Structure 1
């Protein structure tokens, strides 16, 4: 197993990068212009990363004051609903967090966010972001959001003590091996061998299983229309998913991912599939008895998602929002944020000072692996498609009807896929 036991806390450099473009001149705090930044980062390593970025912004953008618009909830499950309501009511924040990729399609079509293509060049982003990432966030030949960090979704986290007590000392390489380990844990009295949360976390699990069954290319084709959701391979993956789901906690539909993670920390589960932001959160909870490995059968697939920020067309403080984005785009801003959050910089030239062993290894995997997008985190599918997939999995979690699940997923694809 890959060890991730090194502390993730970083000593962030206090040297300030003074940004001049789009950032106002120095003013007294009492007259500072407020910049509302809408996010779902409200606790743990996510909040620590945001705080580090805010500190950088405060120094880099004198005369601008950060105002939090945070709405808690893993993967933005709650924040996205609030944001959409505000945009519909013509009450936009200045900037908002979003997953880079297809998740932005509806906002682009509605004219709710600004074209940032020119800023990418002036801020030095052109040529410093991986080609695959640029391709994904380019729509109609334009760039619409500034990515700050890349996470890997298809990672399994362990409680080493729980596994050792069942004689499990190595990471499973195949789906068959993984199911055998889950069976052993259940046999040895672990009621919920796999810790699992609600909707989007279940979609993450299904996606990992699909990658193992289909491979990266055919998996990606599920969201471009080249791979059929109603095919035999998807049905086989759903059968494996059903088997694995049977080893999870019965209250999964009522838990967010940190609550499911608590089962792992407390020794009530042996495994949890979760993005690599979990490493920072485990450390924040003073739990060091864990390891991690890529989901069995995924091989070199790096299922990615990128946290990014977009500027609204109706921003009350467009200059302040632009300065926030410039801070996000800077190498120093990306280093400060990712060192705390546990992700890796979107920029390939950002410093890695203070990064953990896991982050350094993830950065290497990002360079050498096979990039695969995630519907659960908006890089592969639009928000309505993601909502439909989550609803289908929620219904399946209650009914256990695999045919109904496949039919619902195929119907969603038929409705939302955008070819070409």
Structure 2
């Protein structure tokens, strides 16, 4: 009977090798806590979220569903379609456990509607040590100019300088990372947080658009349509020099039995005070009045945040734990850098989806994709972005 009460169907989009290994850690922790895990993996974030919402609206909700740490689930909260997990949050002390950008994303109108499972940074630089050696690159680039110089050396060595997947969300991710790293926190926040249309047409913003488009010259012809993990594979096998991608990419390196600092390197930005874009994944709990399902939801929320689960999951996922009181000694070199950065709140930068609605994010993604893939002028792209940011 206990098993029937804690049976949990969990919808998620973790289907790559590294991601599958990571989600098994969540499943194993839930099983160890006495639950029965029913895995519903759906490839692609948009597809998985749409499936979860369709199930909720159709009256056959899953126990939990994955979303990003963002405004993606505000509409279903407003529609009264989610259960809160206030009881667990209060008992486990989430207010003291999680950093402010995460709390602001999950605590809506005084209630906790999601359990965060990780802190991802969407704009790490990953590089092949073998490729750097072949190209004669002695040190990690510390400025945008040094970065372009490294790309030139990789190109001259006959390698793909920048491994890039060709999907709209990846192009948006690359733009956001470049805006933060090359433009700085102030420009990024003026645009995304303050939604200042004039910023999009400023010389500083146009300079970022220009250098962003310059990156296209270092991407190979096989990029269009490529999945992110296939781009990461190019770096893993030394065919490409670098990739700008979230720290979920690290799970792919680990899955390939590579070690940070040995076969590959990582750096979270240019220089010691570079902004650290905080993102991540959460699970929400679809509305149900079934006591067994509510019990399962609470057990999931509680289990996901325990120190042991956090370390085991994030070690495989490539992200860092949501809490700072874990024993991180066993975590790799990249995770140690991330945990160190998280101690400096002045470097914390909310990801763009925490700052704008999905509609605005979608409009900007369309504009960035058009700019990246066509001969559109910087002025026209800037004008379109100025109009989109106003909503």
- Output the TM-score relative to the length of structure 1: 0.83
Q: Residue 242 of structure 1 corresponds to which residue in structure 2? A: 213
Partner of 2:304: 328
Contact 1:159/1:271 (CA < 8 Å) preserved in 2? yes
1:391 to 366, 369, 374: 366
Find the residue that maps to 1:270 and give its secondary structure. strand
Match of 2:94 in 1: 125
Map of 2:251 onto structure 1: 280
- Greater helix share, structure number: 2
Q: Name which of 80, 83, 97 aligns with 2:66.
A: 97
Matches of 1:386 and 1:251, distance apart in 2: 26
Change in Cα spacing, 1:254 to 1:140, as seen in structure 2 (3 Å) is same
Report if the CA contact (8 A) 1:39-1:97 is conserved. yes
Alignment check: 8 A CA contact 1:149 1:306 kept:
yes
Query: What is the match of residue 14 of structure 1?
Result: none
**RMSD, matched Cα:** 2.3
Is 1:38 aligned with 2:11? Answer: yes
User: Partner residue of 2:322?
Assistant: 346
Are residue 307 (structure 1) and residue 281 (structure 2) matched? yes
SS at match of 1:189: coil
| Residue 266 of structure 2 corresponds to residue 292 of structure 1 | yes
Of 135, 139, 142, which residue of structure 2 is paired with 1:173?
142
- Specify every segment of 5 or more residues in structure 2 that has no aligned partner in the other structure, as ranges: none
- 1:18-417 equivalent positions in 2, closer than 5 A: 26-27=2-3, 31=4, 34-60=7-33, 62=34, 64-73=35-44, 76-190=45-159, 192-197=160-165, 198-225=167-194, 227=196, 228-288=199-259, 289-296=263-270, 299-314=273-288, 317-352=293-328, 354-368=330-344, 370-375=347-352, 378-401=353-376, 402-415=378-391
**Contact (CA 8 Å) 1:94, 1:312: kept in 2 or not?**
yes
CA distance in 1: counterparts of 2:324 and 2:339, whole angstroms: 9
Q: Is the 8 A contact 2:69 2:106 kept in 1?
A: yes
CA distance in 2, matches of 1:170, 1:315: 57
Tell which deviates more after alignment, 41-50 or 192-201: 41-50
TM-superposed deviation, 1:206: 0.8
5+ residue gaps, structure 1, are 1-24, 416-420
- 2:390 aligns to what SS in structure 1? helix
In 1, distance between residues paired with 2:172 and 2:282? 21
Deviation by residue 1:98-130 (Cα, 9 ceiling, x = unmatched): 122323322222222223334311123231212
- After TM superposition, the structure 1 stretch with the greater mean CA deviation from structure 2, 129-138 or 277-286, is 129-138
